[in-house]
Homo-oligomer: A and B are copies of this chain.
Amino acid sequence: MLVDKFILPECKVYMCGHSLGPSLKTTSDAVCSTLQDFASYGVSSWNKSGWIDLSYALGAKIAALVGAKFDEVIVCDSTVLNLFKALKVAMSLQNGRNIILTTDDNFPADLYIAQGISEVKYIKSNEIYKNIDETVAVLMLTHVNYRDSSVLDMKTINEYAHKYGVLTVWDLSHSIGIVPVDLEESSTDFAVGCTYKYLSGGPGSPAFIYANRMYHEHMQSPIQGWIGHNQPFSFEKEYTSFGVRKFMSGTPAILSMKALEAALEIFDKEVIVKSYSIAKEYSNILIKSLKSHGIEVYAPQNRGGHVAFMHKHGYAFSRALIDAGFICDYRAPDLIRLCVNPLYISLRNIESCIEQIQFIMERSLYLKPEYNQMQKVT
Contact = CB atoms under 8 A, between A and B. Distances in A.
A46 interface: yes
A104 B9 CA distance: 54
A81 B81 contact: yes
Contacts of A227: 80
Contacts of A223: 80-81, 84, 113, 116
**Copies assembled:** 2
Interface string A313-338: 00000000010000101011000000
Contact of A51 (B31, B79, B203): B203
B27 A205 contact: no
Nearest to A377: B46
Contact of A28 (B32, B205, B221, B332): B32
Interface string A236-260: 1111000000000111111111010
Given A116-B239, A256-B256, 19 more contacts: A14-B42, A28-B36, A28-B39, A31-B35, A47-B375, A47-B376, A77-B77, A77-B78, A78-B225, A80-B226, A81-B223, A81-B225, A81-B250, A84-B223, A109-B225, A109-B226, A112-B229, A115-B238, A204-B257
Interface of A: 7, 9-10, 12, 14, 16, 19-20, 22-23, 27-28, 31-32, 34-36, 38-47, 51-53, 77-81, 84, 104, 108-109, 111-113, 115-116, 194, 196, 202-207, 221-227, 229, 233-239, 249-257, 259, 322, 327, 329, 331-332, 375-378
Q: Which 3 A-B pairs have CB atoms at the shortest separation, nearest pair first? A: A78-B250, A80-B250, A109-B226
